[in-house]
């Protein structure tokens, strides 16, 4: 048997007060796609940071053997020159620079500091061809979709003569087409001798493309599964991650559906900058009390735009159409009015739009419903703690106290804080945009439970998600959205992944 | 005692600045052979630095809201000039002139607020424009000359002291009484806050440390009151300043508006999506800065007993430096009024101490420049050092049981479902 390209032996990494990795072992064979799975906080990212030198040699215990040699990287530059390149979840591209400029950023082909742009651009075209990106290398990266930006990142890695490519949640922000393209590309690179390590929460993708899977739990290696030997499916992976088999990945729930709560009629919204570009085209939908309604659409279909335009016109221009909540006509112009009317919107962009990362748990929870804490001129800080403590306990937010900073919390706990924040505004209608993105399986299950209990209380819930199994498991009714048009409405019993996908990709008639 | 260490670490910036201020005071007290803390010099320190400290209060709020105001020196000069002209050339009663000038300052601030909040021009540009505009207008209004001959009542704002009451004791009674009252109030509020924090299971200083803090604070304030009382009593600008510090600390820490300022500074997009009217907050923050710049202009004019075309030059830089030395973040969302005041005092004591040591204005400037850089460098270093304790993978510890006193309160709330109250 060939020698593995990478072996990490007995890696232990401590942060003050926390044991992040404890005696972790990882062996990656040459030319395979090796997936690393685990719940949030299991130590996946920390392990990769140890490998790439973000946590320099000496700050951890254990040994790393790469290409048969023990290595001790003290920064990313050293690991990159050894051929180990890490692509982070948040892309590190500069929006206003061109594709070629981004590919060679920090690695410019220059003679005495002067860049030969002709050589660089032709080299860029070569690299772009290898990742299947057909664009002008002079195009600014901001003009590309997120899927193509991901390809630019990989081209950038290839330009560094990568031998071991590490991808952290590469498909988290991609739609299915782009994801498939990316996964195919990884397989192609594997054929050319490039080994990949992939961290992902999308278990179906992992089961599909990886050759072996190492599962981490609570900073420890649980097992390494050989996928090529067969018998490894999503349920098998989940069993390893959570240490138990989740028979139903959704909590039991009997819907109690009441009268119509939200009615949207002929809703049309233009692009905020280009007032003639139609983003949402004549959309009509309803949500009843106690009902969980899904919106399925590919990235760019206008899902978030639809939700935000309903939420106090926080997206778009020249809105037309009608909006009724509990039979009352709404003419919302600001987010504040929307909140007062009883609408809450939980953004897909937790760190950008959901939280002020400088805040602590309690001020985050009350930040949208602060009006309710007004006591004369002041904020009632005593009541604030009681409120925050109530949510911390009922949702099981893991924090030492409600005075903890939200920056320190894991993604799942941050999401619970954001949910608490919106529930405190006492909404009748709750719009959840990708409520479980980047969250581990256990926390997902808890969030589904919260959503269902809200529906049972008689609230209307509108869920936007890229994960079709999530919509199928959670929703009572699902709308499909394609290019800003609502293309179909499915009852829960009629919907399958295939039928949804057919209407999500529907072409416009004209 | 790891608790103490962790609290000290968490607040090292705050305590660090207080310690630095104390060190500077002690240093100059020694090098000036005790002149620094002579009653008359302490009194002068308050009077001379009042206008910068007033500006620093407004500036730190502007900086927390992720803006800047470069125009405050020019606006102060302009408002002072208009006030002087109103009082001397148009015989407007001084108190009416004061009201008009404060309104003028607020109006200029509203002008900035309009461009910043509703048109979307960066505050740097808007206020750079005003820095030039109002310096020019000051020269126009004063026709290039110094205008004196101001009413006595008005000059008192800059040079006056609180009236004396009660028996003749060689000391200024009212000042001492105010000092005792302030100490009592501070201890009362701090104690109440500590009790509340304990109820909610937050980290608090252990009692001996808490008591020590109160005693030190009490001694410092009483010593300060004593020194002022031994000179001429509390200056009227001092009273204005302390009232402003109390008022703005309250606004920033206890009111919805203050919350909103920190929210837009921390993440303006998240604030917008939480229903905060960010434009209105930006507008009010800039308007308030104009108002305080107007007040600082009046104080300066009153102290100098004349309006001068060169008044207020570089005030904006001192106010900005005070905010940053006092812990405000360039990126917004972080900073306190008290911090800015301490930052301003560091600069003020440096000025005063170096002057007493006959260090020329040239070296004073140079040293102050370095102090600003070092203070912020310390902040950055401190942030990097503490960043390692959080971060990815640092999963929080399990939820501790809630404090007993809260159990009942929470229990009856929990009987209701999570979303409804």
Which pLDDT belongs to residue B5?
Answer: 63
The pLDDT score that the predictor gives to residue B372 is: 87
Say whether B419 and A454 touch across the interface (CB within 8 A).
yes
pTM summary value: 0.78
**Residue A214 bridge partners (DSSP):** A36, A224
For A:102-161, CB contacts with B below 8 A are: none
Q: Note whether A144 and A117 are within 8 A (CB).
A: no
| Helix or strand (DSSP H, E) at A237 | helix A234-242
Report CA A8 to chain centroid distance, whole Å: 28
Helix axes B173-199, B207-230, angle to 10 degrees: 160
Cβ atoms within 10 Å, residue A405 = 15
Instruction: Please tell me if residue A210 touches chain B, with a CB cutoff of 8 Å.
Output: no
Nearest CA in chain A to B419: A423
| Chain B residue at shortest CA distance from A43 | B393
Question: Has residue B187 been placed in a domain?
Answer: no
Q: Report pLDDT for A207.
A: 84
β pairing state of A60-66 and A220-226: unpaired
**Chain A residues 439-468 within an 8 A CB cutoff of chain B:** 450, 453-454, 457, 459
Please give the span between the terminal C-alpha atoms of chain B, in angstroms, as a whole number.
40
User: What is the radius of gyration, based on Cα positions, of chain A?
Assistant: 24
Q: Taking CB atoms and an 8 Å limit, are A399 and B275 in contact across chains?
A: no
Interface residue of B248, B261, B274, B399 to substitute, partner A, most A CBs within 10 Å: B274
Q: Which residues pair with A280 in a beta bridge?
A: A269
Q: How many structural domains does chain B have?
A: 1
Distances (CA, A) of A20 to A14, A59, A169, A198: 6, 12, 19, 19
**What pLDDT, on a 0 to 100 scale, did the predictor assign at position B278?**
94
Cα separation, B262 vs B247, in Å, equals 17
- Per-residue buried b or exposed e for B322-334, using 16+ beta carbons within 10 Å of the residue's own CB: bbbbbbbbeebbb
pLDDT band for A242, please (50, 70, 90 cuts).
Answer: low
Judged by DSSP in three states, A169 sits in coil
Chain A residues within 8 A of B272 when measuring between CB atoms: 314, 335
Residue B64 resides in a domain: yes
**Chain B CB contacts of A457 below 8 Å:** 417, 419-420
Contact (CB, 8 A) for A440 and A412: yes
Residue of chain B minimizing CA distance to A370: B256
More confident: A15 or A122: A122
Q: Is residue B174 part of a domain?
A: no
Please indicate, yes or no, if residue B259 is contained in any of the structural domains: yes
Residue B34 falls inside a structural domain: yes
Query: How far is B2 from chain A, CA to nearest CA, in Å?
Result: 12
Q: Is there a contact between A345 and B273 if contact means CB atoms under 8 Å apart? A: yes
Question: Considering only CB atoms, which chain B residues are within 8 Å of A311?
Answer: 273
From the list B263, B277, B396, the residue facing A367 with the nearest CB is B263
Q: Which of B254, B266, B399 sits opposite A392 (nearest CB)?
A: B399
- A375 vs A288, A480, B254, B405, CA distance in Å? 35, 45, 10, 22
Within a 10 A sphere around the Cβ of A426, how many other Cβ atoms?
A: 15
C-beta separation of B392 from A46 below 8 A: yes
Which residue of chain B has the CA closest to A394?
Answer: B418
Question: Which residues of chain B make contact with A312, given a CB cutoff of 8 A?
Answer: 275
Tokens 């008022």 — which residue? B247
Please report whether residue B390 resides in a domain.
Answer: no
Q: Which residue in B389, B379, B383 sits closest to B16, CA to CA?
A: B379
Question: Residue A31: pLDDT above 50?
Answer: yes
Chain A segment 374-433 residues within 8 A of B by beta carbon are 374, 377-379, 381-382, 385-386, 389-405, 407-410, 413, 421, 423, 426-427
* pLDDT score, position B28: 93
Nearest Cβ partner of A356 from B333, B388, B389? B333
Q: Is A230 helix (H, G, I), strand (E, B) or coil?
A: coil
Report how far apart, in Å, the C-alpha atoms of B133 and of each of A139, B82, B108, B138 are.
42, 14, 11, 9
Q: Give the CATH number of the domain where residue B19 resides.
A: 1.10.3470
pLDDT reported for residue A314? 87
Contact between A379 and B255 using a beta-carbon 8 Å cutoff: yes
Q: Is residue B395 part of a domain?
A: no
Q: How far away is chain A from the Cα of B111, in angstroms, using its nearest Cα? A: 24
pLDDT tens digits, A121-141: 888 998 998 888 888 888 898
Q: What pLDDT is attached to residue A44?
A: 85
> Whole-angstrom Cα distance, residue B25 to residue B4?
26
Among B267, B394, B418, whose Cβ lies nearest the Cβ of A18?
B394
Range of the domain at B262: 2-160+235-382
> Residue B395 has what pLDDT?
36
Burial class (CB in 10 A: 0-12, 13-18, 19+), A273: exposed
Q: Do A314 and B273 touch (CB under 8 A)?
A: yes
Task: Determine which helix (DSSP H) or strand (DSSP E) holds A189, and give its type and residue range.
Answer: helix A176-191
CA A439/CA A249 separation, integer angstroms: 14
CB neighbourhood size of B187 (10 A)? 16
Q: Which residues in chain A are closer than 8 Å to B269, comparing Cβ atoms?
A: 352-353
Question: Which two tokens mark B411?
Answer: 């229990």
What's A134-159 look like in SS3? CCCCCCEHHHCCHHHHHHHHHHHHHH
Q: Count chain A–chain B contacts defined by CB atoms under 8 A.
A: 169
Can you give the pLDDT at residue B306? 93
Domains of chain A: 6-242 (3.40.50.300), 260-504 (3.40.50.300)
Tally of residues, chain A? 510
Put simply, the answer to whether A41 touches B266 (Cβ < 8 Å) is: no
Residues of A in contact with B255 (CB under 8 A): 377-379
Q: Which two tokens stand for residue B82?
A: 């208009």
Mean pLDDT over residues A57-86, rounded? 90
Here the tokens at position B200 are: 């909610």
- Three-class DSSP labels, B172-236: CHHHHHHHHHHHHHHHHHHHHHHHHHHHCCCCCCCHHHHHHHHHHHHHHHHHHHHHHHHCCCCEH
Distance CA B94, CA A379 (A): 38
Q: Which residues of A touch B275 (CB under 8 A)?
A: 312, 334-336, 338-339, 368
* Residue ranges for chain B with pLDDT beneath 70: 1-14, 385-421
- Residue A178 is encoded by which pair of tokens? 């782009």
The answer to whether residue B184 sits within a structural domain is no
pLDDT digits (tens, 9 = 90+) for A336-394: 999 999 999 999 888 888 898 889 999 999 999 888 898 888 888 888 988 999 999 88
> What's the gap in Å between the CA of A133 and the closest CA on chain B?
32
| Cβ within 8 Å, pair B396-A335 | no
If one compares B414 and A63, the residue with the highest pLDDT of the two is A63
Q: Do B393 and A382 touch (CB under 8 A)?
A: no
Q: Which residues contact B275 (CB under 8 A, 6 or more apart)?
A: A312, A334, A335, A336, A338, A339, A368
Exposure of B208 in the CB half-sphere (CA atoms within 13 A): 3
Among the partner residues B269, B402, B418, nearest to A389 by beta-carbon distance: B402
């Amino acid at each position: 048997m060939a020698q593995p390209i990478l072996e990490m032996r007995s890696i232990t990494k401590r942060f003050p007060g926390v044991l992040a990795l404890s005696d972790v072992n990882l062996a990656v064979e040459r030319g395979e796609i090796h997936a690393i799975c685990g719940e949030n906080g299991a130590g996946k990212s920390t392990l990769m940071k140890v490998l790439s030198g973000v946590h320099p040699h000496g700050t951890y215990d254990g040994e790393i053997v790469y290409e048969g040699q023990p290595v001790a990287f003290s920064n990313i530059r050293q690991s990159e020159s050894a051929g180990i390149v890490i692509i982070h979840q948040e892309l590190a591209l500069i929006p206003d620079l061109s594709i070629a400029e981004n590919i060679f950023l920090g690695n410019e082909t220059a003679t005495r500091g002067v860049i030969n742009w002709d050589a660089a651009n032709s080299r860029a075209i070569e690299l772009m061809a290898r990742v299947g990106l057909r664009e002008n290398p002079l195009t600014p990266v901001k003009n590309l979709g997120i899927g193509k930006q991901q390809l630019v990142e990989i081209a950038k890695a290839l330009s560094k003569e990568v031998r071991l490519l590490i991808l952290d949640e590469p498909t988290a922000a991609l739609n299915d087409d782009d994801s498939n393209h990316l996964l195919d590309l990884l397989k192609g690179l594997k054929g050319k001798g490039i080994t990949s390590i992939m961290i992902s929460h999308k278990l179906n993708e992992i089961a599909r493309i990886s050759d072996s899977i190492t599962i981490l739990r609570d900073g420890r290696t649980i097992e390494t599964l050989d996928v090529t030997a067969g018998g490894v499916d999503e349920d098998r992976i989940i069993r390893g991650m959570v240490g138990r088999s989740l028979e139903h990945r959704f909590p039991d729930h009997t819907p109690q559906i009441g009268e119509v709560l939200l009615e949207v009629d002929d809703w049309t919204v233009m692009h905020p900058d280009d007032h003639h570009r139609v983003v949402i085209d004549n959309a009509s939908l309803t949500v009843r009390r106690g009902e969980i309604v899904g919106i399925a659409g590919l990235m760019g279909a206008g899902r978030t735009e639809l939700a935000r335009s309903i939420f106090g016109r926080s997206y778009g221009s020249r809105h037309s159409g009608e909006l009724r909540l509990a039979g009352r006509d709404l003419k919302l112009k600001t987010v504040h009015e929307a909140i007062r009317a009883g609408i809450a919107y939980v953004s897909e962009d937790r760190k950008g739009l959901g939280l002020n990362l400088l805040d602590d748990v309690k001020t985050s929870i009350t930040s949208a419903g602060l009006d309710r804490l007004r006591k004369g001129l002041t904020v009632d800080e005593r009541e604030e703690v009681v409120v925050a403590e109530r949510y911390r306990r009922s949702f099981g937010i893991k924090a030492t106290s409600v005075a903890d900073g939200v920056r320190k919390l894991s993604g799942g706990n941050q999401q619970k804080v954001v949910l608490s924040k919106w529930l405190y505004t006492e909404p009748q209608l709750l719009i959840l945009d990708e409520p479980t993105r980047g969250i581990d399986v256990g926390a997902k299950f808890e969030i589904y439970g919260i959503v269902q209990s809200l529906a049972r209380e008689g609230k209307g819930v509108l869920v936007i998600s890229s994960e079709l199994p999530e919509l199928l498991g959670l929703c009572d009714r699902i709308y499909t959205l394609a290019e800003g048009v609502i293309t179909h409405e499915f009852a829960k019993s009629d919907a399958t992944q295939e039928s949804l996908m057919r209407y999500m990709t529907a072409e416009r008639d004209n | 005692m790891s608790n103490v260490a962790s609290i000290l670490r968490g607040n090292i910036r705050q305590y660090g600045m207080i310690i630095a201020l104390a060190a500077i005071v002690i240093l100059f007290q020694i090098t000036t052979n005790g002149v620094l803390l002579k009653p008359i010099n302490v009194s002068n320190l308050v009077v001379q630095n009042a206008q910068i400290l007033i500006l620093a209060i407004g500036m730190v709020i502007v900086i927390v809201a992720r803006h800047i105001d470069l125009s405050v020196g020019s606006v102060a000069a302009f408002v002072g000039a208009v006030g002087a002209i109103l009082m001397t050339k148009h015989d407007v009663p001084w108190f009416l002139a004061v009201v008009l000038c404060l309104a003028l300052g607020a109006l200029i601030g509203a002008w900035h607020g309009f461009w910043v909040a509703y048109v979307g021009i960066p505050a740097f540009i808007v206020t750079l424009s005003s820095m030039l505009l109002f310096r020019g207008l000051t020269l126009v209004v004063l026709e290039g000359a110094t205008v004196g001959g101001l009413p006595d009542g008005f000059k008192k704002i800059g040079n006056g002291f609180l009236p004396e009451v009660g028996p003749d004791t060689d000391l200024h009674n009212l000042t001492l009484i105010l000092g005792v009252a302030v100490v009592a109030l501070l201890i009362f509020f701090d104690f109440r806050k500590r009790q509340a924090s304990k109820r909610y299971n937050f980290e608090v200083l252990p009692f001996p440390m808490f008591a020590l803090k109160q005693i030190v604070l009490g001694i410092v304030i009483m010593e300060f009151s004593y020194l002022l009382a031994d000179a001429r009593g509390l200056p009227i600008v001092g009273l204005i300043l302390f009232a402003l510090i109390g008022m703005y600390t309250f606004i920033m820490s206890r009111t919805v508006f203050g919350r909103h300022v920190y929210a837009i500074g921390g993440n303006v997009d998240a604030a917008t999506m939480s229903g905060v009217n960010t434009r209105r907050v930006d507008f009010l923050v800039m308007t308030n800065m104009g108002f305080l710049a107007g007040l600082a202009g009046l104080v300066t004019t009153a102290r100098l007993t004349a309006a001068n075309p060169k008044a207020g030059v570089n005030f904006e830089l001192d106010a900005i430096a005070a905010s940053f030395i006092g812990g405000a973040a360039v990126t917004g969302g972080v900073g306190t009024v008290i911090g800015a005041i301490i930052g301003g005092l560091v600069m003020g004591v440096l000025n005063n101490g170096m002057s007493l040591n006959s260090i020329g204005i040239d070296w004073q400037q140079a040293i102050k420049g370095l102090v600003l850089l070092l203070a912020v460098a310390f902040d950055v270093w401190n942030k990097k050092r503490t960043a390692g304790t959080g971060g990815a993978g640092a999963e929080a510890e399990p939820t501790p049981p809630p404090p007993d006193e809260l159990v009942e309160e929470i229990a009856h709330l929990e009987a209701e479902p999570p979303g409804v109250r």
